[in-house]
Amino acid sequence: MSEKLALDGGTPVRESALSAEYLGASLYGQEELEAIEGVINARSPFRFYGIDLQYRVKAFEKEAMSYFGFPNALAVSSGTASLVVALKAAGIGAGDKVIVPAVTFIATAGAVVCAGAVPVFCDVDDSLNMDPDKIEDLCDDYTKAVIVVPLLGNPCQMDKVMAAAKRKNLIVIEDVAQSMGCKFVGAYQGGIGDIGCFSLQLNKVITTGEGGMVVTENPKLYERAVRYHDQGMFREKEGFLNAGAQGELLIGQNYRMSELTGAVAYEQLRRLPFIIDRCKHMFDRIVGEIQDIPGLELRRIVDQEGNIGTSILAMLPTAELGERVRKGINAENITCGYLYGGNPLYLNPQIMDQRTADASGFPFNQFAEPVVYAKGMCPIAEDKMARNMLIQISPTYTDQDADDVVAAVKKVCKAVL
Ligand SMILES: *Cc1c(COP(=O)(O)O)cnc(C)c1O
């Protein structure tokens, strides 16, 4: 006998809704407030000069370098900006192709197009991250880089990614926007490939509303990233407007971070260990109880230790059952989502139809063969995404909250599957 679902008029598992309020923002407090106050009181919101410059962006970069052990870190204005800056630092542009996962946020592919290159979609495996065994077959003479995305806190199979990239001479960019702090075999993602990209947008692990970061071990890539993000300048080396600058000069853009953002980013980074610790605890508590439910297929976690535990992504047997389970769990007052509307990225019409902001056909018209995106291109991603359910975890959850999630998932799966 299964209990009557809230969906059918039964009593919900919880009286009031449990939803994961944005990870970093849920912990905003006195520290962030004082950090902002310091910048305001100094009347110095710009990172490179001001009335009484506090160097808060610099402090954030230094803290990130020491926390993660990255040799160079550059704060930028968003996660999308971090990807554009990384691609441009790597010299990628017109006539180039970049492999991206079929399942990711649209910014991963959008940044490639912004850089003047074309995204090539790689199918996923049962981890819902890019299948590293499919990278090599997607390469042609135009392919210059691969962007891997540890999706929702779950690390990528970086040993295989790096081996494939080496064989094909690809630059490896890690888009860690959703997964700051996640690790593969003890190494922080972002520092394994050539360049790492991070976001500080509200929906990410730590947040300043908007913001991002580029990291790289390579001093040449770092210098080019600094220049691209600041109108070609490297002010710490040669001051404003490149007095005496030599061969590294290039035309850049403005992707700088403000001091107000830097001040909050610094305080948020200090909260990262707590966020990951709490989320991992809740993740283990929930997954330990739901992993053997028949018909509930949890995504494979490539490295349990390196997973930051910020969300639980699973598949149901069919799309229809997926919808019923998601509806059922939501009715029990546990927020249960549908990642990316159940679609791999390329099924979004702006990607599928290659709709750029102008009518030139660029960058898709730079190749001997036309670039074509089509349904069926990445069958595993299409199948798994259509059947997905997503439960996000908050560092503010109590053990009782986690147990409510377990109760709702068990109750609904028992009744529906
Ligand atoms: C959010 C996100 C981005 C873009 O970050 P913004 O800060 O919103 O520009 C890029 N890649 C992935 C995988 C993301 O989730």
Q: Is the CB of 150 under 6 A from ligand 1?
A: no
Average confidence (pLDDT) over 40-50: 98
Q: Quick check: 397 pLDDT over 80?
A: yes
Q: Average per-residue pLDDT in the chain? A: 97
Q: Whose CA is nearest to atom 6 of ligand 1?
A: 79
Query: Rg of the Cα trace of the chain?
Result: 22
pLDDT tier for residue 408 given thresholds of 50, 70 and 90: very high
Q: Quick check: 19 pLDDT over 90?
A: no
Q: Is the CB of 189 under 6 A from ligand 1?
A: no
pLDDT tier for residue 247 given thresholds of 50, 70 and 90: confident
Q: Whose CA is nearest to atom 2 of ligand 1?
A: 177
Q: 10 Å Cβ neighbour count for 140?
A: 11
What's the CA gap between 71 and 156, in Å, rounded?
Answer: 21
Q: Are 332 and 13 contacting, i.e. CB atoms less than 8 angstroms apart? A: yes
Q: Are 156 and 150 contacting, i.e. CB atoms less than 8 angstroms apart? A: yes
What was the pLDDT predicted at 2?
72
SS3 286: helix
Q: Quick check: 213 pLDDT over 80?
A: yes
* Residue 285: its H or E element: helix 259-290
- From the CA of 58, how far away is ligand 1's center (Å)? 22
- From the CA of 105, how far away is ligand 1's center (Å)? 6
Q: Are 3 and 410 contacting, i.e. CB atoms less than 8 angstroms apart? A: no
What's the CA gap between 179 and 200, in Å, rounded?
Answer: 11
DSSP state letters, 224-259:
HHHHHHBTT--HHHHTGGGTT--TT-----B-PPPH
Q: Quick check: 295 pLDDT over 60?
A: yes
pLDDT tens digits for range 338-395:
999 999 999 999 999 999 999 999 999 999 999 999 999 999 999 999 999 999 999 9
What was the pLDDT predicted at 241?
75
Strands (E), 157-305: 171-175, 183-184, 187-188, 195-199, 212-216, 297-298
pLDDT tier for residue 1 given thresholds of 50, 70 and 90: low
Q: Are 258 and 45 contacting, i.e. CB atoms less than 8 angstroms apart? A: yes
Q: Are 258 and 229 contacting, i.e. CB atoms less than 8 angstroms apart? A: no
SS3 81: helix
Average confidence (pLDDT) over 290-300: 98
Pocket test for ligand 1, best of 130, 151, 175 (most atoms within 8 A of CB): 175
Q: Is the CB of 199 under 6 A from ligand 1?
A: yes
Q: Quick check: 292 pLDDT over 60?
A: yes
What was the pLDDT predicted at 16?
93
Pocket test for ligand 1, best of 82, 104, 149, 201 (most atoms within 8 A of CB): 201
Atom index in ligand 1 nearest the CA of residue 151 equals 13
Strands (E), 91-191: 97-101, 118-122, 143-148, 171-175, 183-184, 187-188
- Location of structure tokens 């047997």: 317
Q: Whose CA is nearest to atom 10 of ligand 1?
A: 107
What was the pLDDT predicted at 188?
98
Average confidence (pLDDT) over 77-104: 98
The percentage of residues in the chain with a pLDDT greater than 90, rounded to a whole number, is 95
Q: Quick check: 240 pLDDT over 80?
A: no
pLDDT tens digits for range 320-334:
999 999 999 999 999
Q: Quick check: 237 pLDDT over 90?
A: no
Average confidence (pLDDT) over 256-280: 98
Q: Is the CB of 80 under 6 A from ligand 1?
A: yes
